[in-house]
Amino acid sequence: MRKVAIIGVGMTKFGELWDKSLRQLLVESGLEALEDASEKRTLRGKDIEAAYIGNMSAGLFNEQEHLAAMLADYTGMTEGNRPATKVEAACASGGVALYNAYLAVASGRYNIVAVCGLEKMTDLLSGSVTDALVSAADREYEAFYGVTFPSLYAMMARRHMHDYGTTLEQLALVAVKNHRNGYYNPKAQFRRLITVEDVYRSPVIADPLRLLHCSPVSDGAATIILADAKTAKKYTDRLVYILACAQASDTLGLYNRKDLTTMESVVSASKVAYETARLKPKDIDFVEAHDCFTIAEIMAYEDLGFCEKGRGGKMIEEGLTEIDGEIPFNPSGGLKAKGHPVGATGVAQAVEVVLQLREEAEQRQVKGAKIGMSHNIGGTGSTAVVTIYGRDV
Amino acid sequence: MDFSPSREWREINARYRLESSMCERCGRIYYPPRDLCPVCRRKSIGAMKTITLPRRGEIVTYSVIHAAPLKGFEGRTPYIVAIVDLGGVRIQTLLTDCEPDEIEIGDEVEAVFRRIREDGERGVIHYGTIFRPVRMPKTSVHAH
């Protein structure tokens, strides 16, 4: 397998982008990534040999399928009739698109590949958004009984609190931290500081989770350009390498898991990623994690190996995952503050990791970051993608 | 979106009677029923026996949905969704005949047959098996 580098990144602002269409978001993030990659020589659209697009459900959100064709058409890839592929794995769609693009370059099939993550959720009214999102769970045996995504994570949270004594305050601190980081991210949906009391005062969505435990409904797109090491150096000297990228699966339904407080897919994907990169958790300088709900970040601390099972609540309480802590989590603001256009998230996480490793993250920069990680979840952990990145090594 | 009634009809054995599949090779039980044991795989073909789950079990975890309910559940908030353990097999369900502050993880529950929701005025009425705390009077018949 060849070494794979990320040579360019682009991302739209995340948020309720009423004036922008699905295709406009796609093109905006793509153009930014092309510009970003053109440091030493211009990367042209026609230099892209293949593209992968991660999207959860434009079919339900926008009544538009066949996004791969839209991507090829609107970015000019039809000029060479280049292949474009849509990848779907619920909220891990972006991460799985990245994984497939990584394989396509590492294997030697292509030298330059684009990966786009895209979701436009606000075209659908909020009542219907809940229904669209729950299609990432088991429709006939979970959603049939009125289950929503907040309630699935609420059931994990309640069990985590029951088994390990995790507290509501610890959960709230995750949201407070991620809002603090997002405050410094110009592309974040929420640039607003919140307190633990704000979390307690926000309306209950699915007990024990309140509104401020939940990531928002968002629009947005992110694009990254991958290239093999040799090709990459022709375009830029600001290289970030993918040291490992691993994907894993678990049951579709949460109810079928033996342990509701562990995502085996995350444990498995991270084990492969650490082995491939020949690294250990202590070697990782920061993590962009999938905090779709606050409990998900606490479980990520544990499942990625940064603490023992059940100690996740203590990690946030002791400040270990703050931006200046031992292992910063979500310097971007995470899904909670940056926003969570579901299919875009896995790619947006890669964008943030690249900016951090290039030391271009300005006020939210993790000092001396050399090795970064991203953690992207689909559904209740039915799919997980864990990726490790490193500066030029 | 409008769906054919066959979508509902083909699931009724599992939903009404808690029919499940037991792999006769390894003894594992799956709910909803499966045609293939994911552990024994090919060797399980033809060896998946239909059995019904126990109608009593205990609460593994639950959540009370106060806001952002699914379509068809709008008038029902707050409602309680739960994962219950029925003799080692876990299923997703709803809890009924109780208030949120009356239940805890580990409480014993029993199955009741109830209307779940309707697809509008002219659509299919969905029924299924949901659960209530065993301490509740068994004569309770009102739909939630």
Q: Which ipTM value was assigned to this complex?
A: 0.96
Residue with tokens 């991507």: A71
Q: How far away is chain B from the Cα of A306, in angstroms, using its nearest Cα?
A: 26
Q: Residue A141 CB: number of other CB atoms within 10 A?
A: 22
**Closest residue on chain B to A162 (Cα):** B105
**A333-344 burial: b if 16+ Cβ within 10 Å, else e:** bbbbbbbbbbbb
With beta carbons less than 8 A apart as the criterion, state whether A277 and A388 touch. Answer: yes
In a domain, B7, yes or no: no
Token pair for residue A274? Answer: 């650490």
Q: Which residues of B touch A140 (CB under 8 A)?
A: 11, 32
Residues A23 and A87 in one domain: yes
Residue B15: enclosing H or E segment and its boundaries? helix B12-17
Among B4, B76, B83, B107, most A C-beta atoms within 10 A, so best to mutate, is: B83
Per the structure, the count of domains in chain A is 2
| CATH code, A277 | 3.40.47.10
B79-128: per-residue pLDDT in tens?
Answer: 999 999 999 999 999 999 999 999 999 999 999 999 999 888 888 999 99
> Residue B111 sits in which domain range?
54-133
Query: Residue A300: how many CA atoms within 13 Å on its side-chain side?
Result: 32
Active site annotation includes A375: no
> Residue A312 sits in which domain range?
137-216+243-390
Residues A15 and A71 in one domain: yes
Residues A34 and A165 in one domain: no
Question: Given CB atoms, is A365 within the 8 Å cutoff of chain B?
Answer: no
Q: Residue A116 CB: number of other CB atoms within 10 A?
A: 32
Residues A193 and A119 in one domain: no
In a domain, B36, yes or no: no
With beta carbons less than 8 A apart as the criterion, state whether A212 and A111 touch. Answer: no
**Closest residue on chain B to A161 (Cα):** B61
In a domain, A130, yes or no: no
In a domain, B25, yes or no: no
Residues A283 and A371 in one domain: yes
In a domain, B23, yes or no: no
Catalytic residue chosen out of the listed positions A91, A214, A245, A292: A91
Residues A228 and A252 in one domain: no
Residues A324 and A191 in one domain: yes
Measured distance CA(A122)–CA(A14) in Å, rounded: 11
Say which of A141, A156, A159 has its CB closest to residue B32.
A141
DSSP symbol at A30: H
Measured distance CA(A11)–CA(A99) in Å, rounded: 19
Would you call B70 and A142 a contact, using CB atoms and an 8 Å cutoff? Answer: no
A58-80: per-residue pLDDT in tens?
Answer: 999 999 999 999 999 998 877 78
Residues A108 and A165 in one domain: no
pTM above 0.95, yes or no: yes
Active site annotation includes A214: no
Question: Given CB atoms, is A140 within the 8 Å cutoff of chain B?
Answer: yes
In a domain, B84, yes or no: yes
Would you call B71 and A127 a contact, using CB atoms and an 8 Å cutoff? Answer: yes
Residues A191 and A301 in one domain: yes
- In order along its 393 residues, chain A shows pLDDT tens digits of 999 999 999 999 999 999 999 999 999 999 999 999 999 999 998 899 999 999 999 999 999 999 999 999 998 877 788 999 999 999 999 999 999 999 999 999 999 999 999 999 999 998 899 999 999 999 999 999 999 999 999 999 999 999 999 999 999 999 999 999 999 999 999 999 999 999 999 999 999 999 999 999 999 999 999 999 999 999 999 999 999 999 999 999 999 999 999 999 999 999 999 999 999 999 999 999 999 999 999 999 999 999 999 999 999 999 999 999 999 999 999 999 999 999 999 999 999 999 999 999 999 999 999 999 999 999 999 999 999 999 975
Residues A237 and A247 in one domain: no
A84-123: per-residue pLDDT in tens?
Answer: 999 999 999 999 999 999 999 999 999 999 999 999 999 9
In a domain, B35, yes or no: no
Burial (Cβ within 10 Å: 0-12, 13-18, ≥19) of residue A363 = exposed
- Which ranges of chain A would DSSP assign to H, the alpha helix? 22-37, 58-61, 67-74, 93-106, 126-133, 149-164, 168-182, 196-201, 229-235, 264-277, 294-303, 312-317, 334-338, 345-357
Per the structure, the count of domains in chain B is 1
In a domain, B121, yes or no: yes
Q: Which residues of B touch A255 (CB under 8 A)?
A: 83, 90-92
